[in-house]
Structure formats: structure tokens, C-alpha cells
């Protein structure tokens, strides 16, 4: 961590500090919803097998008329209003709100001294042991590493490393920024990030 600089609130553009936290809430809610798989599925009476024969005569038994043993009131029958995997949980978030969510998440991390700017994130040996040493040098619970361009060696080093996640700038979003305890970001990426605001 010798060349790491801790970003302070004073270093942030004013626009980062003026974002309402509700933008981050809405983005994280949509992000989680979009990850949701629509797997719950039940069969209605037309999809359940069996029930082709009329259970008993229409008249003469003193019972209510029944046309199939696969009606919902019978054991083994279909489900009336059960879930089907056709439900779509996707929520849309516009580009401006995505940007605002990221800005607020960054501002929150900066306020807690959890954003570190380094010249380069690079593990030339490609060894997870070396990546772990780099990770431990920041003394954080878990870290999101943001690198300008991920090379093969650095990718291999971080691939199996627990409690850290290596991404490129285009993958950075409000959800990831908020989810990790700290963010380590390359200087060139950081400068672009605050310049775009």
C-alpha cells in the first residue's frame, strides 16, 4: 500500500456530494431484481397428467357433479393461481440514475476513508499468493479492485482470491461500489470517473 492515496471528501467534485441516497436505493433494488430467476412454476388442471375419465356418474349418487379428478379440489389436482415461470422481474433504470447511484456510493465510501487510489493494480507473477499480499496491505475486510485493463497474469492472480473482486471501469456500478467494504482504483480510472461527473 506504499503508493496508495486515501481519497478525502474534499477531493471529490461537489456533484458527488449532492446526490440523493434514494438513487442508490432504487438502483440496488433494480439490480437485485434483474438477477432474480423466474423458476417457481406450478401446473394447472390442464397440465397435470391423468383425469381423463369422469370420476363417477353425473346423477344418482347424491354428490356434486365432477368432470375430472384433476380439478383443484382433488388430491393430485392442478393448482389454481400458482406461480408460473413466465413472470418477469426486470426493472429498468435509466443511464442518469445509474450514474447518480454510482456517484453516491463512491461519496459514501470516500466519507468513510474507504477509497484508495493506486498507480497500478498489477500482479506480474500471476500468483494468488502475491495478490493476497497486495489485498492484505490495505487492511480491509473485502475490496473491489478497479483496473483500467485486466491482463492475463493479474486476472489469474485474483481469480481465486476470496474477499476481493477485480473488474474493469465499464463494470463498475453503484451496487458493487456499495457492496464492498473498500474500493482500490487505478489513478487513470479515478481521474476519468471524477471528470465525467
Which pLDDT tens digit goes with each residue over 138-153?
A: 999 999 999 999 999 9
Q: Using a cut of 0.85, tell me whether the model's pTM lies above it.
A: no
Proportion of the chain above pLDDT 70, given as a percent: 98
Q: Is 197 exposed, middle or buried (0-12, 13-18, 19+ CB in 10 A)?
A: middle
Give the CATH number of domain 5-36+90-195; options: 3.40.366.10, 3.40.1370.10, 3.30.70.890, 3.30.565.10: 3.40.1370.10
**Pairwise CA distance, residues 84 & 62, whole Å:** 37
Per-residue pLDDT tens over the stretch 11-27: 889 999 999 999 999 99
Beta-bridge partner residues of 117: 5, 185
* Domain range list for the chain: 5-36+90-195, 38-88
To 10 degrees, what angle do helices 152-159 and 128-136 make? 70
CA 92/CA 73 separation, integer angstroms: 40
Amino acid at each position: 500500500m506504499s503508493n496508495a492515496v486515501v481519497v478525502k471528501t474534499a477531493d471529490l467534485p461537489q456533484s458527488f456530494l449532492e446526490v440523493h441516497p434514494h438513487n442508490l436505493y432504487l438502483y440496488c433494488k433494480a439490480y437485485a431484481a434483474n438477477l432474480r430467476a423466474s423458476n417457481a412454476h406450478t401446473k394447472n388442471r390442464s397440465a397435470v397428467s391423468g383425469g381423463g375419465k369422469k370420476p363417477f356418474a353425473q346423477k344418482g349418487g347424491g354428490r356434486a357433479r365432477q368432470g375430472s379428478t384433476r380439478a383443484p379440489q382433488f388430491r393430485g389436482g392442478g393448482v389454481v393461481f400458482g406461480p408460473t415461470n413466465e413472470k418477469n422481474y426486470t426493472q429498468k433504470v435509466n443511464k442518469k440514475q445509474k450514474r447518480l447511484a454510482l456517484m453516491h456510493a463512491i461519496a459514501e465510501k470516500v466519507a468513510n476513508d474507504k477509497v484508495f487510489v493506486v498507480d497500478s493494480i498489477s500482479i506480474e507473477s500471476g500468483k494468488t499468493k502475491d495478490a493476497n499480499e497486495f489485498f492484505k496491505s490495505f487492511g480491509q475486510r473485502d475490496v473491489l479492485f478497479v483496473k483500467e485493463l485486466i491482463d492475463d497474469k493479474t486476472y489469474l492472480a485474483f481469480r481465486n482470491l476470496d474477499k476481493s473482486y477485480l473488474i474493469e471501469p465499464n463494470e463498475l456500478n453503484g451496487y458493487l461500489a456499495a457492496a464492498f467494504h473498500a474500493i482500490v482504483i487505478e489513478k487513470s480510472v479515478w481521474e476519468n470517473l471524477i471528470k465525467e461527473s
